[in-house]
Chains A and B, each alone.
Chain A
Amino acid sequence: MNFNITLRKLFITILIILILISTLFPVYWMLSSSFKTDSEITSFTLSWIPKKITLSHYRDLFTKFQLHKYLFNSIIIAVTTTVISLIFGVMAAYGFSRYNFPGSSILLFLLILVRVFTPAALVLPLYRVVAFLGLNDNPFSIVIGVTTLNLPFVVYMMKSFFDNFPKEIEEAAMIDGMSDLRILISVVIPLVVPAIVTVALFSFTSGWNDFLFGISFSQTIKSMPATVAIANMDTQYKIYWGAMMSGGIVFSIPILLITFIFQRYFIKGITIGALKE
């Protein structure tokens, strides 16, 4: 009996370790490669642990590859996407949730339908819209693309939060003589901050991780996000493996930190569909 339990525990432990290895090995490989010299990465004999730790790739990132400039573009894109998505998205979601105005259900349906469009199909015509607006090679061209696809998602999420939000609080505020807009800004929004944080995180991530609009719209360092810069380290002549791996680490750290700090909110965002109904 006891032997059986020990065997079971051993089995479970082995399974967990297998899950851990398959999850973490690629991350470990990126991290360890980023500290290896180029000749060690591309040597015929594989080294599981860096023989000699070098920081040269990290130095190259900020000198030769100018990664900080691309990171700056990524920050602008992610932050602007988040701000526009939040302001427009929260307003629209509240409108859809609380005021059953004529045509609201069809508008909402069309908005959510956007989610099933292929983003790549929008790239071509948007490219010309962006040129028409004079936003050529400007980070805001990427913001337009990402936000257009992100807004419907924000509206959908926030609406389901508002739907579950008790109406009694607003009714009490209305009896106190507050206007609708005041109620939204000073009563409702402070009470749905956790939901807003969740939505903000997802919006920020979609801006930060964008690759499609970045590679389609940006031509130079003026607007190019770090995702494209990292992909471009694979040139026609040479792949800068060390820079690519260290760039990947630097670029992932902010988003990983945010994810760990706000883990609860992310999981809530993922599972919002699971717990409904």
Chain B
Amino acid sequence: MISKLEKNKHRMGFFLSLPGVLFVFTFIIYPLFSNLHNSFYDYNLLRSRDMVFIGLKNYQALLTESFFNYSVIITILFTLISVCLETIIGLAISIFFTFIIKENNQGVLRWLQKGTRSILIIPWAIPGVVAASTWRLLFHPIYSPINSVLGKQIMWLTHPTLAFVSILVAETWKTTPYFIFFFSAAIMAIPLSQFEAARIDGASKWQEIRHILLPGLLPIIIVAASFRLIDTFTRIFDVVYVLTGGGPGNATKVLPILIQETGLKFFKYGLASSMAVVSVIISVFFGLALLRRGK
């Protein structure tokens, strides 16, 4: 039997959660079903306001026309490479900082390390659009200081592969600090006594990292990387939009940009809806897999 008090408690919890849940579900559930519905129609606002039922033709188009498959592959590649880079660089820098802290409790180096840590928050805090517009200038074929240092006129943003490298660089620059903060906090949580014990046993620095630090960090690395994999796959938009606009051609047309463009630039609502449905299925599938592993 549920007591009256408990019933009241249930009601209270329900009413507290209601406004938030309602808000999110109103603006999520409708879009989801609307996407699903529209994806079975030929719905092109540039042609007419009428919707014509065409069954699975939109999905068929996605399968047969290469631009969609290409976009999915590019997005997955971008996500994997950028998160790998960010994890490795973030790990290296946070381990490097930890050893400075352990060796020099005072002095210039410690002070430098502290200052650098504060400064590292800047790329992470700068709005994506601003970061991307700066990188556009940095990658400009003529005005680029990078080219000036390299002494070559490299067409960063107009060469397909280099454009991909450019968005990788900009994204990695912006997001690596996230990993550094994440990992630094985790390293601090590993008890120092473990390292001391290893040192007494005559372990080298590398052995300390290899056998104590990395195994201890592994769960954290998986959690951080999983979060970023989901976020990058679903949210990569402003950096690419401003830096390359998805170009040259379709070279950097990642999924979010392709969907937005198909719907709001070319007004092919039906086709864009089918893309949206597929992308939600992909991200929910991988998201759930990663979230489960992360736990």
* A residues apposed to B, CB below 8 Å: 9, 12-13, 15-16, 19-20, 22-24, 26-27, 29-30, 33, 41-44, 46, 48, 84, 87-89, 91-92, 94-96, 98-102, 104, 107, 110-111, 113-129, 144-145, 147-148, 151-152, 155, 180-181, 184, 205, 208-209, 211-212, 215-216, 227-228, 230-231, 233-234, 241, 244-245, 247-248, 251-252, 255-256, 259-260, 263, 266-267, 270-271, 273-275, 277
Given A121-B259, A274-B220, output 8 extra A-B contacts at Cβ < 8 Å: A24-B122, A104-B13, A117-B28, A120-B257, A241-B137, A248-B134, A252-B126, A273-B224
CB-CB nearest 6 A-B residue pairs: A99-B13, A116-B287, A95-B16, A121-B276, A92-B20, A125-B31
Residues 266-291 of chain B, each 1 if its beta carbon lies under 8 Å from chain A, else 0 = 00010011011101100110111001
Number of contact residues on B: which range applies? Answer: 35 or more
Given B14, B108, B122, B237, which contacts A256 in the complex, CB threshold below 8 Å? Answer: B122
**Which residues does chain B contribute within 8 Å of A110, judged by CB atoms?**
25
Which residue of B9, B16, B30, B125 is within 8 Å of A94 (Cβ)? B16
Chain B residue with minimal CB distance to A112?
A: B291
Q: Would B130 and A148 count as touching, CB distance under 8 A? A: no
B53 within 8 A of A: no
In the assembled complex, the Cα of A125 lies from the Cα of B19 at a distance in Å of 21
A271, chain B: closest CB distance, angstroms: 4
The answer to whether B241 and A231 touch across the interface, beta carbons within 8 angstroms, is yes
Contact of A107 (CB < 8 Å), options: B21, B119, B123: B21
State the CA gap A24–B122 with chains docked (Å).
Answer: 8
Nearest Cβ on chain B to A247's Cβ, whole angstroms? 8
Sample 21 A-B pairs with CB under 8 A, ordered by A number. Answer: A26-B135, A30-B134, A91-B19, A92-B19, A94-B16, A99-B9, A99-B12, A104-B17, A116-B287, A117-B234, A118-B283, A121-B259, A123-B264, A124-B259, A129-B30, A211-B129, A234-B242, A248-B126, A248-B130, A260-B118, A274-B223
Chain B interface secondary structure, helix, strand, loop or mixed? helix
Measured between beta carbons, the chain A residues less than 8 angstroms from B283 are 116-118
Cross-chain contact B20 with A9 (CB below 8 angstroms): no
- B13 / chain A contacts, CB cutoff of 8 Å: 95-96, 98-101, 104
Does B130 contact A211, Cβ atoms closer than 8 Å?
A: no
Q: Which residue of A lies closest to B220 (CB)?
A: A274
Give the residues in chain A near B145, CB-CB below 8 Å.
29, 46, 48
Q: Which residues of A contact B198 (CB under 8 A)?
A: none
The answer to whether A211 and B223 touch (CB under 8 A), given A92-B19, A116-B288, A118-B259, is no
**Is there an interface contact between A126 and B27, defined as CB atoms closer than 8 Å?**
yes
Indicate if B263 sits at the interface (CB-CB under 8 A). yes
Residue from A41, A44, A275 within 8 A of B185 (CB atoms): A275
Do B35 and A121 touch (CB < 8 A)?
yes
The minimal Cβ–Cβ distance linking B44 to chain A, given in whole angstroms, is 13
Question: Chain A contacts of B84 at CB under 8 A?
Answer: none
Residues of A within 8 A of B183 (CB): 274
* Selected contact of A125 from candidates B14, B35, B256, CB within 8 Å: B35
Residues of B within 8 A of A115 (CB): 230, 287
CB contacts (< 8 Å) of B81 on chain A: these are none
